Chain A
Amino acid sequence: MIPRRTVFVRSDDRPGGVTPLEPVAEGAAHPAHTLDWRNSLAGRNAPTRGTRRHPLFRIRDELSAPWRVGLMIVGMLAPLALWLFMSTSSSTSLLVPSPAQTWEGARTLWHEGVLTGDVWASGRRILIGYAISMAIAVALGLLMGSFRSAESFFEAPIAFMRYIPATALVPLMLFWLGIDETPKIALIVIGSVFFNVLMVADVARNVPRELINAAYTLGAGRLRVLRRVILPHSVPGIIDVARINLAAAWAILVVAELLAADQGLAFRITRAQRFRQIDEMFALLIIFGIIGIVTDLSLRWLRNQSAPWARP
């Protein structure tokens, strides 16, 4: 129902003038003819125009909270159910530990006192390597997104490097840099920096031309435009880039740890394999997933905090 307000209509007795209609009080009873009309539309066989699908199947429509939460819970429970089924069913030849066994595996790792050390070892490598990668990406990306000259110069070599699988560089890095921390961190940088640079450049390119022009006409020089227009406008996009490519950094870290390490989550997985401890392997995989979700959510939070203006 559209709430009734004061309506202006042209009145016959005052040619050319307008007279306000009597305002109808909110909640006032509708005249009988309105009710008749409504009833005739609501009849079972009354013809209709258009179709309206159930909210579940509408493109980009809001879903009520119960449906949303319900679907999320089902989405989380379904893989768990599948896991339980696979661990109990004898029809599959795969050896799958049950959730309970996996939990025991995690406890064993914890009691051995290696878990925190492994998480920290892997996390530290990611932290250092990815920080270096993002620092390079922000500097180079903003430059490439702002200056055509920088774009022309860097684009070809970066595209070339991007297509060399970082995993293919693992032997070379181990050969050059030995087997301690340096090659692992270097691999994380190489494995993520080229993606990060190109995506940050794209973010910078998306700064509206008009904002840059406005800054120029307000007296800002090129460096000021970079610092006070292109950078602040790019902050949320840069955090998103970091969030999306972080998974690639973990992937390359795992390969590096599999080949040469004495600590770290992926190293622990290979060790578990050697001793046929599938429960521990599962526990470690789940830890990877949890770390991923936590960092993803933190970065989303950081994005919204740092750029309230970009929130929908």
Chain B
Amino acid sequence: MGENTIILRPEKLEVRGLVKRYGGGRRRPGTLAVDGVDITVRAGELVCIVGASGCGKSTLLNVVGGLEDATEGAAAIDGERVVGPGPDRGMVFQGYSLFPWRTVRENVAFGLEETRMPKADRGARVEALLEVMGLTAWADRLPKELSGGMRQRVAIARALAPEPDVLLLDEPFGALDTQTKRVMQDHLLDVWRRTGATILMVTHDVEEAVYLSSRIYVLTSHPGRVGAEVPVPFPDDRTPEIKRTDRFHAIRDEIQALLTGEVVME
């Protein structure tokens, strides 16, 4: 797919002039976590936000998810302002946050139980998702019986079940070991290509961001601002081989340098 096509896609998710201030009252200014961030994700794009800790990455995602209010500015989906959470924006959290009393199947079914979908259709959708995620054999287990990688797959399946417009991933692979992480990254790419989902993902792993994204926003810290917007020129159907190309290394090093400069300044 050429880069021209990408530009023609409609803007799915927009964040404009986002400011988030924590605490603070009439006298105290509080902490400025995010200071005027603009972000655009087009339909079907997979965009990553990278930044060191304290750049307000999670805050940004929570505002898009409707879980936190912006101090100033706003997030919008298809031009509609986000004022609260909803099933149109599926979220996956770093801590998986599976419902521990529900089996894998029941976890995935949670969102569908909130819809008017007939029970038989719900069951079929859940089974299909379990299949895609390779979870069928574990469908009747409780989350505590699963490994970290498995749990994260359940979390992704659960978020995908209500067919959200946008998938928001908050450091989804942050707690996984390196090997599992690689497998999960390829799995995510696969799911993204198959579903054509629009994905906004937050990570602190630069290599992960370059490998997965169509575009990357680099956030600077204290307060969080967009330091750079980096296009990633690899095709959608990429393979791990790209990680060995000079182009990949060049992009990775460029972003790394931006972030390292940050750390030294602190």
Contacts and interface: CB of A to CB of B under 8 A. Distances in A.
A217 B65 contact: yes
B158 interface: yes
B89 to A, nearest CB: 6
A32 B114 CA distance: 68
B36 interface: no
A214 interface: yes
Interface string B15-48: 0000000000000000000000000000000000
Given A210-B95, A217-B85, A309 B90 contact: no
Contacts of B89: 217
Contacts of A233: 99-101
Nearest to A215: B110
A309 B93 contact: no
A219 B67 contact: no
B87 A218 contact: yes
B97 A219 contact: no
Contacts of B110: 215, 218, 220, 228
A214 B101 contact: no
Interface in B133-168: 142-144, 158-159, 161-162, 168
B114 A217 contact: no
B11 to A, nearest CB: 21
Interface string A111-148: 00000000000000000000000000000000000000
Nearest to B97: A210
B115 interface: yes
A140 to B, nearest CB: 23
B201 interface: no
B101 A219 contact: no
A308 B140 CA distance: 14
B86 A219 contact: yes
B91 interface: yes
Interface string A281-312: 00000000000000000000000000111100
B142 A218 contact: no
Contacts of A310: 100-101
A220 to B, nearest CB: 5
B111 interface: yes
Interface in A201-224: 208, 210-211, 213-220, 224
Contacts, number: 70
B115 A213 contact: no
A229 interface: yes
Contact of A232 (B87, B90, B101): B101
Main secondary structure of the interface of A (DSSP, over half): helix
A214 B114 contact: no
Contacts of A215: 99, 110
Interface in B70-98: 84-87, 89-91, 93, 95, 97-98
A49 B111 CA distance: 55
Contacts of B142: 308-309
Nearest to A312: B144
Contacts of B67: 213, 216-217
A299 B28 CA distance: 50
Given A213-B85, A217-B85, A208 B97 contact: yes
A219 B95 CA distance: 20
Contacts of B97: 208, 210-211, 213-214
Contacts of B101: 232-233, 307, 309-310
Most buried by A among B85, B91, B115: B85
Contacts of A224: 114
A217 B90 contact: yes
Interface in A174-213: 208, 210-211, 213
Contacts of B90: 217-218
Nearest to B103: A309
A214 B100 contact: no
A229 B91 contact: no
B111 A218 contact: yes
A228 B115 CA distance: 14
Interface of A: 208, 210-211, 213-220, 224, 228-229, 232-233, 307-310
A-B residue pairs, 10 tightest by C-beta: A219-B87, A218-B111, A216-B85, A219-B114, A210-B97, A217-B91, A309-B101, A214-B97, A309-B100, A217-B85
